């Protein structure tokens, strides 16, 4: 079945979940989640797979073990595909791409590349182009000052302070979200994010640290 977006009833499901985040609500509305929320995401990922790779949908359950908020369910549906992240909630569509939180070895390579002349200038150009395309460029966390070993007046100090680097864009809900236009916006975003991901792959790459130490 072709992707046709998320109908208003899907957003109403999340509105209700925000008001009553409980097992009782989930059980009463589980079929709505499966047909109105999850099924469209599955269809979208299937259509994107030939170009962007296989995707996966995150579980709807929150990990509440270390949280003061014991609400059992996420108030959004999220999925990963390639370098991208897709999210739908009561407010609309959000899409992200990049490295949200870098491991220590990745962060070291990232800062070295940002500080170096050629890759640092290249990243500045990539970020400027992404912003001109309407994308937000941000990170998981930002230091209040310069990282240790780097001057506070470095010309790329803002980029050096990031602990991760991603592109992100949100679109408020509207009639378009219930059409194939939603897929068009996801694809446009992923295309516009390619240069940043290429820079990250070339200059940062995957972590080589054991998982238990990250």
User: Which tens digit of pLDDT belongs to each residue from 110-165?
Assistant: 999 999 999 999 999 999 999 999 999 998 789 999 999 999 999 999 999 999 99
pLDDT, tens digit, for every residue of 32-55?
999 999 999 999 999 999 999 999
pLDDT at residue 109, as a whole number: 98
Angle among Cα 40, 43, 45 to the nearest 5 degrees reads 110
Do residues 90 and 15 lie in contact, with contact meaning Cβ atoms separated by under 8 Å? yes
Average pLDDT, the chain: 96
pTM score, whole prediction:
0.92
**Closest C-alpha among 203, 209, 194, 207 to residue 84:** 194
pLDDT of 141:
86
d(CA 3, CA 98): 25
Residue 190 near residue 95 (C-beta atoms within 8 A): yes
Tokens 């992707």 sit on residue: 3
Fold of 8-204: BirA Bifunctional Protein; domain 2 (3.30.930)
Split at pLDDT 50, 70, 90, the class of 212 is low
Residue pLDDT, tens place only, 181-198: 999 999 999 999 999 999
pLDDT-derived band at 213 (thresholds 50, 70, 90) equals: very low
What is the C-alpha radius of gyration for the chain, rounded to an integer number of angstroms? 19
Which strand ranges, in their side-by-side order, compose the sheet holding 165-172? Answer: 55-57, 76-81, 84-89, 92-99, 165-172, 136-138
The pLDDT value recorded for residue 214 is: 41
């Amino acid at each position: 079945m072709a992707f046709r977006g998320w109908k208003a009833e899907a957003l109403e499901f999340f509105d209700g979940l925000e008001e009553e985040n409980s097992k009782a609500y989930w059980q009463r509305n589980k079929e709505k989640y499966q047909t109105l929320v999850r099924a469209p995401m599955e269809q979208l990922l299937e259509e994107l797979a030939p170009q962007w790779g296989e995707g996966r949908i995150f579980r709807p359950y929150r990990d509440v073990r270390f949280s003061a908020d014991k609400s059992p369910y996420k108030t959004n549906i999220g999925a990963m595909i390639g370098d991208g992240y897709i999210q739908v909630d009561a407010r609309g569509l959000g899409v992200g791409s990049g490295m949200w939180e870098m491991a220590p070895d990745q962060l070291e390579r990232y800062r070295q590349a940002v500080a170096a002349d050629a890759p640092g200038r290249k990243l500045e150009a990539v970020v400027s182009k992404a912003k001109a395309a309407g994308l937000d460029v941000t990170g998981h966390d930002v230091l209040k000052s310069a990282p240790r070993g780097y001057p506070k007046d470095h010309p790329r100090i803002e980029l050096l302070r990031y602990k991760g680097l991603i592109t992100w864009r949100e679109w408020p809900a509207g009639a378009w979200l219930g059409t194939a236009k939603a897929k068009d916006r996801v694809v446009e975003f992923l295309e516009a994010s390619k240069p940043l991901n290429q820079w990250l792959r070339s200059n940062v790459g995957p972590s080589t640290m054991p998982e238990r130490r990250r």
